[in-house]
Structure 1
Amino acid sequence: MSKTTSMGRGIIAVLAVGSRNAGDLPGGTVADIAADLGKDRSQVSRSLRTAEHEGFLARGDHKSYALDWSLLTDAQLLTEQRLQSDGATALEGLSRETDEGCFLGVLSGDSTITIGERVPASSNMVGSWLGRPYPAFCSDAGQALLWEASDANVRTIFSDVAFVRHGPNTPLDVEDFLSRLRGARVRGYSIVDEEAEPGLYSLAVPIRDFKGDVVAALQVVGAKAHLEPRREFCATALLSWGQWLESTLGYSLPQNRL
């Protein structure tokens, strides 16, 4: 899209207002936005009025423009719906490709909860994990769901958590968890090796939405004896389906991460 079109100028103006909101500023006047963009005030004023008319911006006191948060609320609701529908597609494709149990999990406090699952007929997994919470410090999805969290935030989440041993390799404490999380970030996906229970092995990647927030984790889970030898193959499929699901949620990889 050409930046010289009225729509292009309007989008640039909306992004400029959004940048001010992201920087903890309440918004900006025509003069503020024009200065940020280095553009003529009259041109910026027309673009801001158009964006306001279309419902992208709201004008408040002192003629200051801010994002219309109802629009973002609608976008968030759409993201949740897409996570369910497109998440099911990703799970189906990933399970078919890997012939392993595949799951979609979300974070709830210091636990993870499964919101989607696909288990092939060849699997010996018994029962369903849908809706069941599990401690995030040793769950298949825990590291992926805390992928973008700072060390301080992770320590806060686990501040009142007892690191009870669930498998032979359960993290000993929050610092042990953080060490594993750092390794996962370098690798590009997490490996949970007999942390949740003996003999269980899993790979997971974070799923981000249009805001860049981690909203879920996509996982491949199976018996260690079967899944570990196929780790690279399954990780490639996992990363591919994870990127596909993120794209349906509107996530774009930052330029400096390409």
Structure 2
Amino acid sequence: MLKSSSMGRGMLAILALGARQGAGLPGGTVAGIAADLDKDRSQVSRNLRTGEQEGFLSRTGERTYTLDWSLLTDAQQLTARRLHTDGAVALEHLARDTDEACFLGVLHGAGTVTIGESVPASSNLVGSWLGRPYPAYCSDAGQAALWESSDTEVRTVFAGVDFVRHGPNTPSDVDDFLMRLAAARVRGYSVVDEEAEPGLYSLAVPVRDFKGEVAAALQIVGTKARLEPRRTECAAALVAKGTWLEARLGYRQPLSSQD
């Protein structure tokens, strides 16, 4: 499908130019890109001009095309703004629907930091977590924040980290954490059961951005006695609101092989 459409041909030309820059080359001329793709020069020229008009490419005085990163930068800045504004909406609605404390956290080194929260008075949680770091290996957001990371990447994050016991169920080491992360992926959301502190229970899902990368973790946090019996219904609300927030950040679910 990609090769047969005009949009597909345009994307192939842009990807070929990206491959050149990825190889350390400064850019590409129409003739060079046409040779790379084994395509007609006039067709490639039209595709590159369209890419320039749409803001994906820029052209130097030597008639060499290069990728224009300003579009990606603008998209990333928009994503950051929406993560806070639409994230606040998601938190408010999720807290209202579940009557539990809800948070938005991001990965920062080997820890997580809360960037948004909505805490109903009835949740029985006291104080604010905004800006407070916590070890990712046992935090409410840790598994979800590392959702798309490979085992090697997770091991790199926790290299040199001592898995200090914060609750009765704190992971003992990185292998223990990876086992819990694998189970969370199968389940569709993470369950952090008295890992961060005694009596604390939480559910979390990753929130991906337009690049398909995890931008944050959306969490429901409460006492174990109160939240665990309502896990199924709260998890359903959490997954639905996480999907909504991902759509606001430009994430598109990948098509299945049957689509």
TM-score (norm 1): 0.88
The match for 1:13 among 10, 14, 18 is 10
Q: Does 1:127 align with 2:127?
A: yes
Alignment CA distance shift 1:44-1:225 (3 Å): same
Mapped partners of 1:45, 1:31: distance in 2: 9
Give the drift of 1:29: 4.9
Give the drift of 1:148: 0.7
In 2, are the aligned partners of 1:200 and 1:221 still within 8 Å (CA)?
yes
Give the drift of 1:50: 2.3
Mapped partners of 1:157, 1:61: distance in 2: 44
In 2, are the aligned partners of 1:103 and 1:219 still within 8 Å (CA)?
yes
Residue by residue, what CA displacement relative to the aligned partner does 1:176-208 show, whole Å, maximum 9, x if unpaired? 000100111111111100000011110100011
Alignment CA distance shift 1:61-1:219 (3 Å): farther
| SS of the residue 2:184 aligns to | helix
In 2, are the aligned partners of 1:90 and 1:241 still within 8 Å (CA)?
yes
Equivalent position of 2:247 in the other structure: 247
Code of the residue aligned with 2:95 in structure 1: it is: S
Residue identity (%): 68
Give the drift of 1:63: 5.4
Runs of 4+ in structure 1 deviating by more than 6 angstroms, as ranges, are 35-38
Alignment CA distance shift 1:179-1:72 (3 Å): same
Alignment CA distance shift 1:143-1:53 (3 Å): same
Aligned residues: 253
Code of the residue aligned with 1:173 in structure 2: it is: D
Mapped partners of 2:208, 2:138: distance in 1: 21
Alignment CA distance shift 1:28-1:246 (3 Å): farther
Counterpart mapping for 1:172-183 below 5 A: 172-183=172-183
Counterpart mapping for 1:175-194 below 5 A: 175-194=175-194
In 2, are the aligned partners of 1:207 and 1:218 still within 8 Å (CA)?
yes
Give the drift of 1:65: 3.7
Give the drift of 1:43: 2.4
Equivalent position of 1:106 in the other structure: 106
In 2, are the aligned partners of 1:79 and 1:249 still within 8 Å (CA)?
yes
Code of the residue aligned with 2:6 in structure 1: it is: R
Q: Which moved more, 1:12-21 or 1:40-49?
A: 12-21
Residue by residue, what CA displacement relative to the aligned partner does 1:50-109 show, whole Å, maximum 9, x if unpaired? 221332212469855443111111111110000000000000111111110000000110
| SS of the residue 2:114 aligns to | strand
In 2, are the aligned partners of 1:14 and 1:56 still within 8 Å (CA)?
no
In 2, are the aligned partners of 1:17 and 1:33 still within 8 Å (CA)?
no
Mapped partners of 2:246, 2:16: distance in 1: 22
Mapped partners of 2:147, 2:132: distance in 1: 21
Equivalent position of 2:236 in the other structure: 236
Question: Mind listing any 5+ residue stretches in structure 2 that lack a counterpart?
Answer: none
Question: Mind listing any 5+ residue stretches in structure 1 that lack a counterpart?
Answer: none
Give the drift of 1:9: 3.5
Equivalent position of 1:159 in the other structure: 159
In 1, are the aligned partners of 2:16 and 2:33 still within 8 Å (CA)?
no
Mapped partners of 2:61, 2:147: distance in 1: 39
Counterpart mapping for 1:1-258 below 5 A: 9=6, 13-14=10-11, 16-18=13-15, 21=18, 24-25=22-23, 29-30=29-30, 40-59=40-59, 65-256=65-256
Alignment CA distance shift 1:179-1:215 (3 Å): same
In 1, are the aligned partners of 2:141 and 2:204 still within 8 Å (CA)?
yes
Give the drift of 1:254: 0.9
Alignment CA distance shift 1:64-1:211 (3 Å): farther
Mapped partners of 1:190, 1:30: distance in 2: 49
Mapped partners of 1:226, 1:252: distance in 2: 34
Alignment CA distance shift 1:188-1:37 (3 Å): farther
| SS of the residue 1:255 aligns to | coil
